[in-house]
Chain A
């Protein structure tokens, strides 16, 4: 138990001066029921997001990163079950809430931008009307005030206000994604979850969307969870990053630490597998085999079947957590100095 206040000099340097978690996820566990058994998509995940902080979740297909997003909003498919864990949003646990009880939190406190923005917009309604509908469902206001708010939102994401009365098919891919962000920001949520919001877009459009997201995040002091498979995008948007593998966060830390001094062999491989357009051409890393089937995850460390450093202990025992300040990873053979 800590009895003395820590002198500020020993505080870890973070982008957030004082801890003020908007979101604290504790031991979140979610399974999908299938005919073959339970798929352990999210398996004992804990992390926190501070006010105004941007957190990246990175991993490959099937690692559970999108399932976490859906679990946080409790937008779960019918076969999904929250097994245990807490979702503390501003201190209140969302985990036990029913759908009706959840409704006031969605959009108002926690909102989401999806990968397929083109599918998130209803093609037969004007975009402006869709945002007004979202506003009216959550905030009592007059049509004039709602329209004024839509204008503000379009301005915030740099969309031409002449597009307010237009239909989604008149928008380009990048504009639809901006409209998706505008809609998510309609009620000024404390936390925005962006699930691969730029994956379907070309790099020049992606560059603009990322700039826009950073700008509104700072302007609104909003917290952001940015989910992506792309390490480079995560490096640009996130203060902290969690690396996911097979339903678990295997490494967590400030983005600079994780990128420059990875602890987990998976993180190291993931980074070396990314070709770069600048700097010397490095040898591209790769993994053999496939990610595990989460019906029957491997015993011990879940990464052991593909890990170049795996030994007997990795095959039988759950890995310990290795810490260096706020940076940690679960691994029997942590890397150092890499």
Chain B
């Protein structure tokens, strides 16, 4: 499988700049009561996504990775912070609070691929209707050209010959074919930025490699940058040149994928990596060093989010704010006082 190009080689100005992004959800306390508690789902996240790059957001369920992805394509509106989108490399647009026609125009450039191809395709619509919908919503082309573009897209995602798939329904397709149709739908409008939320986690392994390779070759051919969201560190290793590890709404470690996976600096990344089973019966993993279970980020205390579960935390960690992301050498940043 082709490895993604290093971030430095694919353009100088970032395509997407995320600045101190936050999303809070109120915790419902009762029917008529105003909520005073908030889940801090995304809590001060900042990163750049380079042109042509595939950037991975990894972490366990509830860490805020999917919410971050939804904020970046404006399927949700941030509570605070900014998202800048710079297609030309000269004039960044603040997309944080876009609305109306501006938001619709942004959707031509940014799309999302969802995890479950069984739920993301409307069972009552043909593959043609589903894939053509973004073109119709955007009034991108007339009916004749529409058919042509959908056919070309189906061919690109490997649903060939397209005539054999155009007028079929999702239930007639296998899981792998459905995910290919979902990818075709996201890419038919020719976006340059795609948030892919666990696009292969529902697929069988023997099918999965093909979809991963397809996503990489389409990125190269169409000049797409991915925000690739996954819980699977091994998949991130193959799909992403850089990754950020999230824990309770915060990025705790970020850097070149190989550096983060081979020499993790943050105790959470270390625990997460040591918990991944190794497909070799003669290898015994080191014990996983982490205490307790995941809590929810409801009104978190002003200290390191990982404090309660950290094997190396001390009084300093308890008495100070959540640590900033700092350079820890070998091309990676970590948010830890002790690393």
A residues bordering B, Cβ < 8 Å? 60-61, 172, 174-175, 202-208, 210, 229-233, 235-236, 238, 255-256, 259-260, 269-271, 273-278, 281, 283-288, 290
| A235 and B280 contact, CB distance less than 8 A | yes
| B279 and A259 contact, CB distance less than 8 A | yes
Question: Closest Cβ of chain B: how far from A96's Cβ, in Å?
Answer: 35
A275 to B275 alpha-carbon distance, docked (Å): 15
Write the B134-152 contact mask toward A (1 if CB under 8 angstroms, else 0).
0000000000000000000
* Chain B residues with CB below 8 A from A259, complex form: 279-281
What residue of chain A has the Cβ atom nearest to residue B59's Cβ? A202
A273 to B213 alpha-carbon distance, docked (Å): 12
From A174, A205, A270, A277, B276 is in contact (CB under 8 Å) with: A277
Using A61-B175, A273-B206, A284-B209 as known contacts, say yes or no to A204 and B275 having CB atoms under 8 A apart: yes
Which of these binds chain A: B15-23, B76-84, B182-190, B233-241?
A: B233-241
Q: B330 interface residue, CB < 8 Å from A?
A: no
- 16 more CB-based (< 8 A) A-B contacts, given A232-B276, A269-B206, A281-B238: A172-B294, A202-B231, A202-B294, A203-B275, A205-B293, A230-B277, A232-B277, A232-B279, A235-B277, A255-B281, A259-B279, A276-B234, A277-B234, A278-B278, A287-B207, A290-B207
From B176, B208, B278, A290 is in contact (CB under 8 Å) with: B176
A85 to B268 alpha-carbon distance, docked (Å): 50
| B281 and A270 contact, CB distance less than 8 A | no
Question: Closest Cβ of chain A: how far from B231's Cβ, in Å?
Answer: 7
What residue of chain B has the Cβ atom nearest to residue A59's Cβ? B204
* Chain A residues with CB below 8 A from B231, complex form: 202-203
* Chain A residues with CB below 8 A from B278, complex form: 232, 235-236, 276, 278
Question: Closest Cβ of chain A: how far from B286's Cβ, in Å?
Answer: 11
A60 to B212 alpha-carbon distance, docked (Å): 18
Residues in B199-246 with C-beta less than 8 Å from chain A: 204-210, 212-213, 231-235, 237-238
The 9 A-B residue pairs with the shortest CB-CB distance in the complex, in nearest-first order: A286-B209, A232-B277, A275-B234, A60-B204, A232-B279, A287-B206, A202-B60, A207-B275, A203-B275
A288 to B60 alpha-carbon distance, docked (Å): 31
19 contacts between A and B (CB under 8 A): A172-B293, A202-B61, A204-B272, A206-B275, A207-B275, A231-B279, A235-B280, A256-B282, A273-B208, A273-B209, A274-B234, A275-B237, A275-B238, A276-B279, A278-B278, A281-B238, A284-B212, A286-B210, A290-B207
A174 to B212 alpha-carbon distance, docked (Å): 29
Write the B103-126 contact mask toward A (1 if CB under 8 angstroms, else 0).
000000000000000000000000
B residues bordering A, Cβ < 8 Å? 1, 3, 60-61, 174-176, 204-210, 212-213, 231-235, 237-238, 261, 271-273, 275-282, 285, 288, 290, 293-294
Question: Closest Cβ of chain B: how far from A303's Cβ, in Å?
Answer: 11
| B277 and A233 contact, CB distance less than 8 A | yes
Question: Closest Cβ of chain A: how far from B123's Cβ, in Å?
Answer: 19
* Chain A residues with CB below 8 A from B294, complex form: 172, 202
From A207, A210, A274, A281, B205 is in contact (CB under 8 Å) with: A274
| B293 and A203 contact, CB distance less than 8 A | no
A78 to B193 alpha-carbon distance, docked (Å): 49
A286 to B200 alpha-carbon distance, docked (Å): 13
Question: Closest Cβ of chain A: how far from B174's Cβ, in Å?
Answer: 5
A270 to B237 alpha-carbon distance, docked (Å): 18
* Chain B residues with CB below 8 A from A205, complex form: 293
From B60, B235, B273, B285, A275 is in contact (CB under 8 Å) with: B235
What residue of chain A has the Cβ atom nearest to residue B277's Cβ? A232
For B61, B273, B281, the residue with the greatest tally of chain A CB atoms inside 10 Å of its CB is: B281
Question: Closest Cβ of chain A: how far from B159's Cβ, in Å?
Answer: 13
* Chain A residues with CB below 8 A from B213, complex form: 286
| B204 and A229 contact, CB distance less than 8 A | yes
What residue of chain B has the Cβ atom nearest to residue A272's Cβ? B209
Question: Closest Cβ of chain B: how far from A170's Cβ, in Å?
Answer: 13
A21 to B278 alpha-carbon distance, docked (Å): 29
From A235, A281, A290, B174 is in contact (CB under 8 Å) with: A290
A333 to B205 alpha-carbon distance, docked (Å): 23
A270 to B204 alpha-carbon distance, docked (Å): 10
What residue of chain B has the Cβ atom nearest to residue A233's Cβ? B277
* Chain A residues with CB below 8 A from B174, complex form: 290
* Chain A residues with CB below 8 A from B275, complex form: 203-204, 206-207
What residue of chain A has the Cβ atom nearest to residue B309's Cβ? A204
A204 to B176 alpha-carbon distance, docked (Å): 28
A130 to B215 alpha-carbon distance, docked (Å): 47
A287 to B61 alpha-carbon distance, docked (Å): 30
| B279 and A235 contact, CB distance less than 8 A | yes
| A204 and B288 contact, CB distance less than 8 A | yes
Question: Closest Cβ of chain A: how far from B145's Cβ, in Å?
Answer: 32
For B175, B232, B278, the residue with the greatest tally of chain A CB atoms inside 10 Å of its CB is: B278
* Chain A residues with CB below 8 A from B1, complex form: 283-284
A230 to B237 alpha-carbon distance, docked (Å): 18
From B206, B208, B209, B273, A277 is in contact (CB under 8 Å) with: B273
| A229 and B205 contact, CB distance less than 8 A | yes
Question: Closest Cβ of chain B: how far from A280's Cβ, in Å?
Answer: 11
What residue of chain B has the Cβ atom nearest to residue A174's Cβ? B293
A206 to B261 alpha-carbon distance, docked (Å): 19
What residue of chain A has the Cβ atom nearest to residue B3's Cβ? A281
Question: Closest Cβ of chain A: how far from B180's Cβ, in Å?
Answer: 12
* Chain A residues with CB below 8 A from B212, complex form: 284
| B293 and A274 contact, CB distance less than 8 A | no
What residue of chain B has the Cβ atom nearest to residue A210's Cβ? B277
A275 to B232 alpha-carbon distance, docked (Å): 10
Question: Closest Cβ of chain B: how far from A50's Cβ, in Å?
Answer: 17
What residue of chain A has the Cβ atom nearest to residue B293's Cβ? A172
A288 to B160 alpha-carbon distance, docked (Å): 13
From B60, B205, B281, B288, A235 is in contact (CB under 8 Å) with: B281
| A277 and B261 contact, CB distance less than 8 A | yes
| A203 and B281 contact, CB distance less than 8 A | no
* Chain B residues with CB below 8 A from A61, complex form: 175, 204
* Chain B residues with CB below 8 A from A277, complex form: 233-234, 237, 261, 273, 276
